[in-house]
Amino acid sequence: MNRVPRPTQLPSAPRRRARLALPLLLLGAATAHGETRCVANLGQLYDAFHAAMTSVEGTRWDIQIRQGTYVLTQSLEMATYKENDNKELYVSGGWTGANGTCDSQVLDASNTVIQGKVETPGDNGIGHSIYGDNKRYDFRWLRFQDFTFFGVEDHECMSPDICPDTDAIVFEHVEFDNGGIIRFNVDDAARLVFRNNAVTHMHPISPFDNTVYQAPFGVILDNDGSADISFNTFASITCEGTPGGVMIENHVDDVVLHHNIFQTTGCSKDLYVTPDGGHSITPISNLYNGMGGLIAGNLLSNGNVQNFNPLFTDITIPGDYHLQLASPAVNAGQTQVDALLSGLFAPSLDADGHLRLVGTRYDMGAYESVKNDGAPQVLKVTTISDDPDDTGSLRHAVNQANQQVGIAQKIVFDISGSCPHVILLASTLEITDSLYIDGYSQPGAVPNDMDVGNDASICILVGPGASGVNTAFEVPTGADDGVHFGISGIAFGSNFFQFTSSAIQLRAGSNHVVSGNAFGGTGPGDAGVLGGMARAVLLTGTATDSTIGGDENSARNTIGAMSQNAIVITGTTSGHTISNNYIGLTTNGIGAEPNSAEGISATGGHDITIKNNAIAASVEGIVLSGSATKNFTLTGNRIGVNAYGVGLAQHANDVGIYVGGGSSDHVIGGPPVQNIKTGAYQPLGLANDIRNNSVAGIHLPSAGAFVTMRGNRIEQNGAGNGGLGIDLGALGPEGNDAGDGDTGPNNLQNHPVITGTTAGATTLTVKARLTTNPNQNVRVDLYRSPTCPDGRAAANATTYLGAVDINSGSGNAVPFTAPVAKFAGAPGYLTATATTSTGNTSELAYCVREDTIFVDTLE
């Protein structure tokens, strides 16, 4: 692979920012103010940060810093509070242009230097603080040099605050050199990305303890999303009492730590995962000398390299942390295909702006070397022909890949002419050995880069060339568990014929990745009208641990105009994650592309996660049916509204989430084990937004037991059709029974009865009672809404207030109270659910209007 010479010039501003205005305007509602600042001197740099910090709530700031060195006289700070939070902050370097403008960007982290001052005895130096309850922090192509502290924190949301969701904290292609402490405290963000950065010469001056707070590089992960710490170089890091140079306190499950270099001095461990978090991490393909704490798995079998000397160029050129060609980190990581099929995201450029990958395997660390030990085998498609004897056809490439048993292959595209290129299949393409198909390799194709929406350009279209073609790609029954299939950048559909089953069928194998594709409807970019098909993806048989979509913006699939279900799960399949997809929506996430049946239909399968999807315009958004369908986790989804949270009639599903046929043991929303103490309320983490569904929000007509529903926003469901936000059994309120001895879905758990409220200066004391089975521990979650439509039974749960734990005692009507935040303005309505210790959640309580004036609960 040819190395791109530095500098790499990119025209104009990043596409994501330029295109965001259009879909927001199309919503027809007021939108947040955004501003781009081109920074050419120190005064403008301070002004830009101050303006971003003090601007009104919900604004978006894009600070573009021209190349050069900025010698600071004071700290950079982005500190926001509840009256001016919920902002997006993008900061990037390398900008150039005539007359001090920012018209193009040189992608090299070292050419835009923010220089502070290190701490010395008697001088605290200059540090940087980025914190508050904001929507996004995004830093790229910068070098921070000489600083005492660099801190990033998305604040934990505590009562009585109403806090926004933090979408992501992203640091990519950033260099940190000659500092004291770097700390990331991730409380609420759905995603942390710390990738392709260099952290060098860190040396805390005056630590006061040996915890992660005083580590040279410390990360506290207490969020409900994912974390990707990869392709970083941590070098020349000195410890002053902490057990690790890089320390992680991990409270979450979804963490990947791969392709890093850890090199420290004076530290007992290069990397230490502190037991305080309680969750272990399995490192993959890192170079280190020592690791400790909660490290899971066999390090060597996971591709890690233990070597005390990474052989940096620093040996001959002080301060240079590029790799010598003889470095044990060069060509020592994952192959591109294996990384993709394992769900390990790899950046296409290193911290210098040079291309990755060079050679058969990725280099570890922030900088890719020029050493090429033989390019990985790549099969190229150059024609739209479906002839297996045509050496440039997709069918020929798939057949060739299947013959290379045990060697993962990659298929790329280089078809001449303008986009789109339509490949019509005469029959199904079977995948019997590990293979990754990269549609974005076609010239003219570009993956999505938008946080919300989709600005992808897909150039390769695959459809049936005749009637009766069952599917496009299939991993067949009987394929080995070690077969991995990945596909991205392909649009599926045809205006002439339809795939009779589904575009992709995954019947066996493991760790499949279906990301960044378009199924039916109108495709993004040049794809045009794709028409319909029966289904998009089938997960069944012995297939395990696959990802449909993914956390990255580029991984989002769009699925619309299906004649049956969009995604189908059947059989004993397990371990899959369906994430970040648009189902029943246009590719921009705004309009509707209705599906004739369910968005996601599961009539089997277990231990499956469905998260962060937008699902609209279907009969049911998500269906979980059958006694074999167990242990699903549904969180972070928008169901019944579009990707921007707008719910019109066209976006409504009949039912948001349907659980029936004895299906059981699911979590819908926040985790059931969260411990929220009376008087110390805080919101649950990431939960679902279930609104605007025409029959019911969550309907359990014939479910089994242990369906836990906590922390969701449930609003405006079932209007005029008799259904409720949470509806157990037949449509409409079940009512409570004495002693709660009845049976049915979730054992028809009784809901709390709110009897009144007492207003204080800043809090509202809720008075309630619960009648249920004797001697049960029950968690009562409380919610507020401005309205209570269609009578008191049709409660809305707009804002989560907190929870209180009670014991039912003898089972009689147990009274309890709970202090919650008092809201300004007109009185709202309160409701609640009861969840037993076994996980059965009730319907929403009949809503009761707040008393915000008189202490005697009367108005």
82 — pLDDT class (breaks 50, 70, 90) = low
Same domain, 306 and 224: yes
Give me the mean pLDDT over the 216-238 stretch: 92
Same domain, 499 and 577: yes
Q: Please check whether residue 688 lies inside any domain of the structure.
A: no
pLDDT tens by residue, 500-511: 999 999 999 999
**Residue-wise DSSP of 744-792:** SGGGGPPPPEEEEEEE-SSEEEEEEEE--STT-EEEEEEEEES--TTST
Tokens read off for 616: 């609209």
pLDDT tens by residue, 552-605: 999 999 999 999 999 999 999 999 999 999 999 999 999 999 999 999 999 999
Range of the domain at 589: 421-653
Task: Name which of 487, 392, 384, 402 is nearest 439 in CA terms.
Answer: 487
List the Cα angle 387/389/395 in 5-degree steps: 50
Give me the mean pLDDT over the 275-297 stretch: 94
Per the CB < 8 A criterion, the answer to whether 834 and 772 are in contact is: yes
**How many Å apart are CA 623 and CA 614, to the nearest integer?**
15
Proportion of the chain above pLDDT 90, given as a percent: 69
Same domain, 367 and 446: no
Task: Name which of 679, 854, 859 is nearest 760 in CA terms.
Answer: 854
The pLDDT value recorded for residue 558 is 97
Tokens read off for 326: 């003889």
494 φ/ψ angles, rounded to the nearest 5 degrees? -165, 140
CATH number at residue 833: 2.60.40.10
Among 122-136, 374-388, 577-591, name the most confident range. 577-591
Same domain, 152 and 185: no
Same domain, 133 and 238: no
Asked which of 339, 374, 409 is the last residue of a domain, the reply is 374
The pLDDT value recorded for residue 683 is 41
Q: How confident is the prediction for the chain on average, in pLDDT?
A: 88
Asked which of 653, 684, 708 is the last residue of a domain, the reply is 653
Q: Please check whether residue 536 lies inside any domain of the structure.
A: yes
The pLDDT value recorded for residue 157 is 65
Q: State how far the alpha carbon of 414 is from the alpha carbons of 331, 334, 444, 578, in Å.
A: 26, 25, 10, 30
pLDDT tens by residue, 308-351: 899 999 766 678 999 999 999 999 999 988 898 888 999 989 99
Torsion of CA 716, 717, 718, 720, to 10 degrees: 10
Asked which of 604, 634, 653 is the last residue of a domain, the reply is 653
Which residues have C-beta within 8 Å of that of residue 349, sequence separation ≥ 6? 8, 107, 173, 196, 355, 356
Q: Please check whether residue 788 lies inside any domain of the structure.
A: yes
Q: Which of 162-166, 242-246, 671-675 has the lowest mean pLDDT?
A: 671-675
Q: Please check whether residue 743 lies inside any domain of the structure.
A: yes
Helices (H) and strands (E) in the chain, counts: 5, 64
Number of domains present in the structure of the chain:
4
Same domain, 184 and 260: yes
pLDDT at 12 over 50: no
Give me the mean pLDDT over the 89-107 stretch: 94
Same domain, 127 and 178: no
Q: Please check whether residue 686 lies inside any domain of the structure.
A: no
Same domain, 369 and 425: no
What is the model's pTM?
A: 0.81
Q: Please check whether residue 716 lies inside any domain of the structure.
A: no
